[in-house]
Every structure is written in C-alpha cells, then in structure tokens.
Amino acid sequence: MKSPLLEVTDLKKHFFVHSGALGTGGATVYAVDGVSFTIDRAETLALVGESGCGKSTVGRCILRLFDITSGQVMLDGKRIDELSAGALRPFRRRVQVVFQDPFSSLNPRMRVRDILAEPIRNFRLATSRAELAARVDRLLEVVRLPRDAAKRWPHEFSGGQRQRIGIARALAAEPDLIVCDEAVSALDVSVKAQIVNLLYDLQQELGLAMLFISHDLAIVEHMTHRVAVMYLGKIVELAPKRALFAAPKHPYTQALLSAVPVPEPGAARQRIILKGDVPSPINPPKGCRFHTRCPYAFERCRAEEPALRATAGGHLSACHLHDLPAAQNPLAAAA
Ligand code: SF4
C-alpha cells in the first residue's frame, strides 16, 4: 500500500521561555503536544482552531522552520524531521508555503519577475533564460495575473494580488504540498473568497496536496477534503469535511461551528458561547484540556485525558462522552 504524502505522528513542539531579569527563570510552552494526521497526494486537510491553539506551529514544524521536540514527520515515506540542512534541500522544493501577510512576505526590492524566478533558479528547474521567462509567464497566468505584472514591484499591487504573487512563488518550485498558513486571513471578505477559489482551482488543476491552516471554519468549508480541529496543542476532532459540518462530534467543534453562518435564508444554528478564554499552553488543564470551557464536562474529564479515536460517521474525536450510553449522552440527545 502506498504511504501518504505527509505523515505526522505524535508531533510535539515545546518552547522554553526565559523570564526574570537575568533570564534564569522560565517555563515550558506546550504549543503542540502530540498531534498525528496524514495528507494524501492531491488532498487538502484544513487545520482549524482559535488563535494560539498551535496550528501554525504545526505548519512550521512541517516546513522545518522549527525543529520538533519529539514525534515524526514523514514525506513520501521518508523521515524529514531528522534531516541535516544539506539533506533537506530536495525536501524544501517539495513543500512550499504561502504566509498570511501578503505585504511583508514579498521582498519589496525585487520585481515580480525576480521573485518568481528565484525558486526556479535555486532548484534548477529551467535550463535556459527563455525557459525561465516562459515559466514566469505561465505562473502569472496560473494565478490569473496579467503578464506585464512581471516587471512591476510588490507595492504596486493590492493585498489580493500580492497573495496571488505569493501563491505563484510557492508554485514556482513545483511542490507536492503547499502549507497555507492563514493565507487569506489578512484579506478583505470579497478578496478572501477569490483567493480561496483560486487555491481550490489550483488544487484541482495541479493535483496539489495542501495543509490549509485557518482560524475560520467558514473559509475551509468550500475547499478542503478533511478537517482537523485543534484545541490547546491537540487535535480534538478529525473528519471528512461533509461529515464534520453535518454532524460535529466534539463539543469544541460544535461550538466553533455554531458561529458559522448558515447560507439558507431562515436557517440558523443555535450559537454556543464558550465561557472563558483558551487556557495558557504553559499550564494546560489536566485531563481533557477543554474541560474548563466545555458545557458537558463531568468528573472523568478533569482527571483523564481522552484519546482521539474512531466514532460514528468516520470521525476521530477525543471526548469521554463517546463512552456513555446514548441515554446519558447529552450529545446524543442534542443530535
Ligand atoms: Fe467536554 Fe469532557 Fe468531552 Fe472534554 S472529554 S470535550 S470536557 S465532555
């Protein structure tokens, strides 16, 4: 059986933050604390959750912008978390990133032509100047920008257009996987929709795999195959998109989803307002990390951490309620 394109197993990334005047004190931030998932070729997985849940840290670990604390990251069956800088080079071409901020992520002193030519040159993907120029033209076409954009500077473009340039730059390396880290969060609503549609079209046309990191469930609904929901460094639910949006199994997913507008006029979800803020990843709650905010928390939740495991409808969910008989399960009663 073919291995998935990306396989992340029990990934942990802990940071030590120094404190005190001499930097002698400090604490550990459990930013990512045991995350596992796979992404197949030509598949999009959305990683969603509130700010500070660790989703962007997962992306940066996969990109090897951070060294991981423990666990494994495999690309095409090969472990990449242990590779030296030199051995990482071919991997760097295969996994590219589109960052959130289209204003700071492009070098203001480079014309668009040079921004797009840089990865093509670095990875020796063109054999002549003519081929290089043709590739740049093609990239602009793919992201729906005019050919004359090549000779212009980043500041001459709007936020949405800059994000198209950022996407073209990621595509220039001919990657297998693109990590989109809050790639549309900084954009206006209408532009956001255009870029999401573009990413969706590219994913379909080019057969790319994507890890789409977002705090906004509504955005991912139209473009992903599966959704993983993160809370305080852990995945609490992972399911095919349709199943997750139709019947979320985890109380946290239910709360997130209740805030997503329903397109049909007159239809409405009952909004679930969570109490309190996300606890600090320096001192995450014992047991289920969500128990301090969960409307259904019971004694076991405060003592025992629930494992992410298969439940009905093809979901993986980490919640003790799944062990209760239907008559005692408030989620079953609410369904
Ligand atoms: Fe809520 Fe308990 Fe389930 Fe955690 S394990 S989500 S606290 S019911």
53 and 279 Cβ atoms separated by less than 8 Å: no
How remote is the CA of residue 288 from the centroid of ligand 1, in Å? 6
Phi, psi (degrees; rounded to nearest 5) at 264: -70, 135
Locate the ligand 1 atom nearest the alpha carbon of residue 302 and give its number. 7
How remote is the CA of residue 48 from the centroid of ligand 1, in Å? 18
What residue has token string 């301090």? 292
In whole angstroms, give the CA distance from residue 153 to residue 134: 19
Side chain identity at 113, as an amino acid letter? R
In whole angstroms, give the CA distance from residue 335 to residue 333: 6
* Mutation pick for ligand 1 pocket among 236, 252, 289, 296 (CB with most ligand atoms within 8 Å): 296
What residue has token string 């930097």? 23
How remote is the CA of residue 59 from the centroid of ligand 1, in Å? 26
pLDDT of residue 333: 59
CA distances from residue 181 to 63, 97, 168 in whole angstroms, order as listed? 11, 7, 15
- For the chain, domains (ranges, CATH) are 41-69+83-334 (3.40.50.300)
Strand, coil or helix: what is 20? coil
- Residue 245: exposure state from Cβ atoms within 10 A (0-12, 13-18, ≥19): middle
* Mutation pick for ligand 1 pocket among 294, 298, 300, 317 (CB with most ligand atoms within 8 Å): 294
How remote is the CA of residue 279 from the centroid of ligand 1, in Å? 15
pLDDT of residue 100: 87
* Mutation pick for ligand 1 pocket among 319, 322, 323, 331 (CB with most ligand atoms within 8 Å): 319
By alpha-carbon position, which residue is closest to atom 6 of ligand 1? 319
pLDDT of residue 266: 61
Phi-psi region of 309 (alpha: psi -120 to 50; beta: other; left: phi over 0): beta
How remote is the CA of residue 76 from the centroid of ligand 1, in Å? 35
pTM across the whole model: 0.93
In tens digits, what is the pLDDT along the chain, a chain of 335 residues? 678 999 999 999 999 988 876 667 889 999 999 999 999 999 999 999 999 999 999 999 999 999 999 999 999 999 999 999 889 988 999 999 999 887 788 999 999 999 999 999 999 999 999 999 999 999 999 999 999 999 999 999 999 999 999 999 999 999 999 999 998 988 888 899 999 999 999 999 999 999 999 999 988 988 899 999 999 999 999 999 999 999 999 999 999 999 887 766 566 668 888 888 889 999 999 999 999 999 999 999 999 999 999 998 889 999 999 999 888 888 775 55
Give which of 32, 55, 76 is closest to 177, Cα–Cα.
Answer: 76
Determine whether the shortest distance from the Cβ of 251 to ligand 1 is under 6 A.
yes
By alpha-carbon position, which residue is closest to atom 5 of ligand 1? 319
Per-residue three-class SS string for 194-263: HHHHHHHHHHHHHCCEEEEEECCHHHHCCCCCEEEEEECCEEEEEEEHHHHHHCCCCHHHHHHHHCCCCC
Locate the ligand 1 atom nearest the alpha carbon of residue 251 and give its number. 6
How remote is the CA of residue 32 from the centroid of ligand 1, in Å? 19
In whole angstroms, give the CA distance from residue 288 to residue 170: 38
Phi-psi region of 158 (alpha: psi -120 to 50; beta: other; left: phi over 0): beta
By alpha-carbon position, which residue is closest to atom 3 of ligand 1? 319
pLDDT of residue 263: 65
How remote is the CA of residue 331 from the centroid of ligand 1, in Å? 11
How remote is the CA of residue 230 from the centroid of ligand 1, in Å? 14
